[in-house]
Amino acid sequence: MAEASLGRAVGAATAALSISIISYFVFFSDRSKLNRWKKTSLNQETNGGKIRRGLVGAIGNTPLIRINSLSDATGCEILGKAEFLNPGGSVKDRVAVKIIEEALENGDLVEGGVVTEGSAGSTAISLATVAPAFGCRCHVVIPDDAAIEKSQILEALGAVVERVRPVSITHRDHFVNVAKRRALEANIAKMDATVQLNGHVIHKGHSEETSRINSRGGYFADQFENLANYRAHYDWTGPEIWKQTKGKIDAFVAAAGTGGTIAGVSRFLKEKNKSIKCFLIDPPGSGLFNKVTRGVMYTKEEAEGKRLKNPFDTITEGIGINRITKNFMMAELDGAYRGTDQEAVEMSRFLLRNDGLFVGSSSAMNCVGVVRVARALGPGHTIVTILCDSGMRHLSKFFNDQYLAEHGLTPTATGLEFLLTLN
C-alpha cells in the first residue's frame, strides 16, 4: 500500500515536472525567437575567460599590431588595427552588424527578410556572413570587374549574387541602384501577398515555396548613405583604438570608400583629444583628396576642361570615390595624401616580406598613407591605421603577377624606395 502511494506520488511529481518543462520551453522558445538577435555582441565572462555570444559576438576587439618594418623605418610607432581577423574577414563586419541590428530594431527589416546591397566585395561578404545569424538572407549586386573570388565567396555563403557592368552612379544600372531596386521589389512582393484561410502565403504567378521565401520583404543596406556605417566606427572601432593605445595616439590615417570608417574613428578620436591629427589617403581616380585639400572634387587642370571622361580606375578595390557620401561628411580631417597603384602593390609585397602580413589592396594603401604621415610628423609619434582585409580575396588581380604585368604594375622594389614624394 505504501509502495503504491509512493508510486502515485512519484508519478504525480513527474507529470508536474514534465508540464513545467514543457511550459518553460513553450514560453521561452517564443521569447528567444523574438530576442535572439538582440545584444548579440555582448560577451559573457566564464571561468576567467570570455565566451563570445555566437558569430556576431566574435566581431570586434581585434588586436592592434605594431608593424615592425614601418615603425623601424620611420622612427614612429606604426600600429595597424587587424580587422582582417574578424569572422567575415574585414572591417565591414562591424558595419554589417550595425546596419542589420538598427534595421531590425526600427522594424525596417524582419526576421526572414532579405538584405540587399551594392558592393565591390567586402561589405557584401560581411552582410552575407552576418545575415544568417540574425535569421535573414542576403542579395548582393556587385560590379563584374571586381575580383572573381569575391563572387565565389558570396555564393559559398549562400547569398544571391548579381554581377553587373560598371557604370556611373547616375546610371539606373549602377550596382548600388540595382540593389536598391531589388529591395523595393521584395517589398512589393510582400505587399502583394495574400494570406489564405489555411495560413499559407500565396503570390500571383509564384509557387507557394517561392512566395513564402519572398513574403518577408527586403531592406536596402545602403552602406554609402546609411549612417549606421559611421556609428559602427564611432561607437565601436574608435573606442577600441583609444583604449588599446591608452589614449597615446598622435595620428590616424585611412582611405575612404563609403567614408564610414574614417568618419567614425576620426570624430571619436577628435572628441577625446583635439590634438590628434586625422588624415585621408586617396587612390587614383578618386576626388576625395581634392575635396579635402581644395574644397572641390576636381583638380585645377580638370576645372580648365581637361578632365577625362573615363578617369583611371584604381587597382585598389573598395576605396576611392567621386562623390561625397553622408558618412564621409561626418569625418573630421586635418588633411589628405595621394597614393598610387604602384605604391600599393609594392607596399603589399614589402609587408609580406618583412612582417608576414598578407593584406589586401586597401590595407596596403592605408600603409602608404601611414608612411606619408610619419614622414610629415617626424620620429617619435604613434600613428594608427586600419588593416581592412587580407590578401585572400585579392588573388585574381592585386596578387596576380600576369594581371599586374599587363597593367605595368609589376613590383620591383626591395625597400621603401618606391614611395614617391607626393602630397
Q: 618606391: which residue's cell?
A: 418
Q: 81 with 96, same domain? A: no
- Residue 304 in any domain: the answer is yes
CA distances from 111 to 101, 198, 207 (A): 11, 22, 21
Q: 166 with 243, same domain? A: no
Residue 230 C-alpha from the chain's centroid:
11
C-alpha 147/C-alpha 398 separation (Å) is 9
List pLDDT tens digits, range 38-60.
544 444 433 445 788 899 999 99
- Cell numbers describing residue 309: 571622361
Termini Cα distance of the chain: 98
Q: 165 with 179, same domain? A: yes
CA distances from 279 to 37, 141, 272, 418 (A): 36, 31, 16, 21
Q: 270 with 391, same domain? A: yes
- Residue 98 in any domain: the answer is yes
The per-residue pLDDT for 191 is 73
Q: 74 with 186, same domain? A: no
- Residue 378 in any domain: the answer is yes
List pLDDT tens digits, range 267-307.
999 999 999 999 999 999 999 999 999 998 876 555 554 44
The per-residue pLDDT for 93 is 98
Residue ranges in the chain modelled with pLDDT below 50:
1-7, 9-10, 13-34, 37, 39-48, 194-199, 202-213, 305-312
The per-residue pLDDT for 422 is 55
Burial class (CB in 10 A: 0-12, 13-18, 19+), 49: exposed
The angle, 0 to 180 degrees and rounded to 10, between the axes of the packed helices 341-355 and 361-377 is 90
- Residue 80 in any domain: the answer is yes
Q: 172 with 253, same domain? A: no
- Residue 413 in any domain: the answer is yes
Of 220, 255, 271, the domain-final residue: 220
Which residues is 389 bridged to in the sheet? Answer: 90
Going by C-alpha positions, the residue among 224, 227, 240, 219 that lies closest to residue 59 is 240
- Cell numbers describing residue 69: 618594418
In this structure, what CATH number is given to the domain that contains residue 291? 3.40.50.1100
H-helix segments, 157-286 = 175-191, 208-214, 228-232, 238-244, 260-272
The per-residue pLDDT for 33 is 41
The per-residue pLDDT for 275 is 98
- Residue 334 in any domain: the answer is yes
- Residue 210 in any domain: the answer is no
Q: 77 with 112, same domain? A: no
Q: 156 with 67, same domain? A: no
Of 158, 185, 220, the domain-final residue: 220
Q: 394 with 288, same domain? A: yes
Q: How many residues does the chain have?
A: 423
> What DSSP line would sit under 1-63, residue for residue?
-HHHHHHHHHHHHHHHHHHHHHHHHHHHHHHHHHHTTTTTT-EEEETTEEEE-HHHHTSS---
Which residues is 278 bridged to in the sheet? Answer: 252
- Answer for the pair 238, 264: CB distance below 8 angstroms, yes or no: yes
The per-residue pLDDT for 53 is 86
Give the residue numbers spanning the domain of 165.
91-194+215-220
- Cell numbers describing residue 364: 596596403
H-helix segments, 273-316 = 288-294, 300-301
The per-residue pLDDT for 30 is 39
Q: 85 with 121, same domain? A: no
C-alpha 201/C-alpha 53 separation (Å) is 34
Q: 160 with 258, same domain? A: no
Structural domain tally of the chain? 2
Q: 323 with 413, same domain? A: yes
- Answer for the pair 367, 346: CB distance below 8 angstroms, yes or no: no
Q: Is the pTM of this model over 0.75?
A: yes
Q: What are phi and psi of 134, to 5 degrees?
A: -100, 5
Q: 605594431: which residue's cell?
A: 66
- Answer for the pair 385, 364: CB distance below 8 angstroms, yes or no: no
- Residue 263 in any domain: the answer is yes
The per-residue pLDDT for 213 is 47
